Structure 1
Amino acid sequence: MILNLITFASQLHKQAAVLSSHEMVLNELEKYFTVNLVDYHDIDKLTDNDFQLLFIATGGVERLVIQHFESLPRPAILLADGMQNSLAAALEISAWLRSRGMKSEILHGELSEIIKRIFVLHSNFKAQKALSGSRIGVVGTPAPWLIASNVDYLLAKRRWGIEYTDIPLERVYEYFARITDDEVGEACATFAGKALACREAAPEDLIKAMRLYRALKQLAVEENLSALTLNCFKLIEQLGTTGCLALALLNDEGIIAGCEGDLQSVFTQLVMKVLTGKSSFMANPSMINARTNEIVLAHCTVGVAQTEKYIIRSHFETETGIGIQGIMPTGHVTLVKCGGECLDEYYLSTGTLTENTNYLNMCRTQVRVKLDTPAEYFLRNPLGNHHIMVQGNYAMQLHEFMQANGCRRME
């Protein structure tokens, strides 16, 4: 990891004396990072792909910094160990930057804490870069019942650097028609062979569902999609199958895939992927106990890589096609949802997956989660229906990332 320190030092101080006075902090940084000291005159030689901090080396550099305002990294992270009046200058600079609407933070204090914070900031930086330029395919229009899950494409691009692109379902139908049953026969046999059981679904249902998976994968590759969300209910009338299997397999392969054309949820899934490296479970909150802070999450698709075992079922609402009943491992989980038309709000909670439930009148994959925060959020201030669950505790990374991007936490 290369740490570029844009160094601001007063011309009244000799360069050698400046560096020697900060020897302790620089030596500690070099234990963890490749430190590249960059004179402020050369700030324009760095690119947006270079991780940068502002190293306030002396006092008296306030005007030097503001003269380079347009070239400063966003957010502006100021490193100041206090030597040579550096902290005094950093405080003044930080206040000025924030008055101009730029997020700013000062790194100062115990060196071990500074190192930890730099790792968090670098993680945020990498995630933002991974998101920037991502293309999210909206295959078909969002489901009509998602009345609170809209996204303003332009505002989302300005804030996050992502691009939503509308793709008509007719392209899926075209690719689907080209794929023969024979082409997917082996894949169907392999998938069925690894299942714990097969209940309502028939072999022809599995063949159709696998053909749809191939069609969506071809579309994702051709459109260079990082993620896609599919209006799966519209497919049923035309193709006689559901998208549950296709979305599960795409998620397993690293192509983030969400249900029902939900624009906010697929973005949340993408954020989870770039921050944690993991695929996630998009689900309906189906039962809530505000007294015990327990929630049952349910949906008819889940990436099989997230499960310990899976059962091939039909789709719950329509009793057609292929649904997946995944048996997921118990243990720590993180529940999150990004909301708002410009994706500037979020809900976040850790919890423990305690049980895989099997209610008859719910979607196929069902998990009970004991939340570490009040479940009343869902009843009083929810960010819509679908929420996203990932295995493991990633609360700190997600909170830091959303806060760094000026988002408001809903509780």
Structure 2
Amino acid sequence: MELRVKPVLTYGVYQRREATSWRPWGGIQTEEEAQEEVRRIEAELGDLASKASFPLKVLPVSPLKSAEDLSGVKEELSSSDLTLIYAAGGNILEELVSSSRWSIIFVRHRSGPLYRWYEVVHPSFLRKRSDEFRQSGVDVEDVVVDSYDELLWRLRALYGLKKALGSRIISIGDPGGWGIGGRAVTLARERWSLDIRTVPYPDLAKRIEKAKGDEDIVRQAHRRADEYLSQEGVTLQTDRKFVDNAFVLYRVFKDLMEKLGSEAITVGGCMGTILPIAQTTACLTLSLINDEGYLAFCESDFVVIPSGILLHHISGRPVFLNDPTYPPRRRGDHRPLHCS
């Protein structure tokens, strides 16, 4: 999956008229200046794409003077996730902003020729010459002035959001939500379009029993437990069988993830229901899956899981479900704590 970006340059070309104001201000006023700006933008976006640490597809820059020009880029706009609007001039921002895709407006102050919309994007476009924000689809956080670092982190965030929306996740046992129960599951499906696949505990019990009857799986689990416990800084403070069982459970979970086509899994009843079935806690198992770059959450808590999925895809790193804590005021640290 990649983030598809369609960049466009909006501008105007004006004819001199006597005894009247005949052009808006801005550094791009002719076709030649517009073409030079297109080349500048393409070079800058090429440099940005080379720095992106996520899959990014930047389509060619299209210069647009009027709404009539939109017909030539309609297909590329509709197939893109994001319209990146270089708002040098013109009056077609409303036509470019769509509810079906994201939009970012880039304006220049000091990074190149001054853009007209640098002056008026806030009062004239976002507020429509009023005291209230009236433009749908974009707000002040979607306007970038000069900085490609500011643009890049926004693209990274939108890539993470694209990956998070519609994600599939396996719930061992019934999914729920801290404080609001099933309402959290409904919201996760409605707002995040999460595809939650429930695996009942009786089904999990059969899978664990079958895995424990497979000598190869048991032998591999024992070997991997040996390797894990031999790492520097690791001390065994429980019965060894619980560690072996955690690696058997790991194999069961990974097989489920492969079968159901999911990169994410969560465990309901992880402080109780799973213990007599797996003969271990799920904590080490989930930690191992997270270490491999997948998503593994305890508690099947869909109050917090959607934000964890989003953070994972934005950062490209493992995430940790934890409770907020109150550190000593003067120490300046924060301790993420949880049962696992």
TM-score scaled by length of structure 2: 0.70
Deviation at 1:183, TM superposition (A): 4.3
- Equivalent residue, structure 2, for 1:77: 104
Residues 10 and 58 in structure 1, CA contact (< 8 A), matched pair in contact too: yes
Distance in 1, matches of 2:300 and 2:115, equals 56
Who is 2:23 aligned against? none
Superposition RMSD in Å: 3.6
CA contact (8 A) 2:7 2:60 kept: yes
**Where in structure 2 are the equivalents of 1:386-401 lying within 5 Å?**
none
Question: In the alignment, which residue of structure 2 is the partner of 1:19?
Answer: 34
Shift of the 285–45 alpha-carbon distance from structure 1 to 2, 3 Å rule, reads closer
Structure 2 letter corresponding to 1:56: A
From 289, 292, 302, the equivalent of 1:253 is 292
Distance 1:31 1:195 in 2: 44
2:87 to 56, 61, 65: 56
- Amino acid in the other structure paired with 1:81: R
Say whether the 8 Å CA contact 1:140–1:166 is kept in structure 2. yes
Among residues 69, 94, 99, which one is paired with 1:66 in the alignment?
Answer: 94
Q: 1:200 to 1:70 in 2, by over 3 A?
A: closer
1:36 aligns with 2:60: yes
- Counterpart code for 2:288: L
Q: C-alpha deviations, 1:99-118, integer Å up to 9, x for none?
A: 2532233333xx3xx22221
Q: How does 1:105-184 map to 2 (within 5 A)?
A: 105-108=142-145, 111=146, 114-141=147-174, 146-147=178-179, 152-180=184-212, 181-184=218-221
1:36 partner amino acid: P
Aligned-partner Cα distance in 2 for 1:208–1:277: 29
User: Which has the larger Rg?
Assistant: 2
Residue of structure 1 in register with 2:263 after alignment: 226
Aligned to 2:230, the other structure's residue is in SS state helix
Given the alignment, which residue of 270, 282, 289 partners 2:309? 270
Q: Spell out the pairing of 1:286-365 with structure 2 (5 A cutoff).
A: 288-289=327-328, 292=331, 296-299=335-338, 301=340
Three-state SS of the structure 2 residue aligned to 1:194 is coil
TM-score normalised by structure 1 residue count: 0.59
2:20 maps to none
When structure 1 is superposed on structure 2, of 114-123 and 260-269 the one drifting more is: 260-269
Verify the 8 A CA contact 1:56 1:89 in the aligned structure 2. no
Matched residue pairs, number? 292
Q: Which residue of structure 2 lines up, in the alignment, with residue 99 of structure 1?
A: 134
CA distance in 2, matches of 1:195, 1:219: 31
Does structure 1 retain, via aligned residues, the 8 Å contact 2:168–2:262? yes
Task: Quote the offset at 1:277 in angstroms.
Answer: 1.9
Q: Give the C-alpha shift of residue 137 in structure 1.
A: 2.0
Whether the aligned pair in 2 keeps the contact of 1:77 and 1:107 (CA below 8 Å) is yes
2-structure distance, mates of 1:99, 1:223: 44
Structure 2 gaps of 5+ residues are: 16-28, 49-57, 65-69, 213-217
How do 1:228-247 residues align onto structure 2 when only pairs under 5 Å count?
228-231=265-268, 232=270, 233-247=272-286
CA distance in 2, matches of 1:238, 1:184: 17
Q: Contact 1:258 / 1:265 at 8 angstroms: preserved in 2?
A: no
Local SS of the residue matching 1:185: helix
Matches within 5 A, 1:5-16: 5-10=7-12, 16=31
Deviation string, structure 1 residues 369-403 (Cα, Å, up to 9, x no partner): xxxxxxxxxxxxxxxxxxxxxxxxxxxxxxxxxxx
User: Is contact 2:176-2:302 (8 Å) kept?
Assistant: no
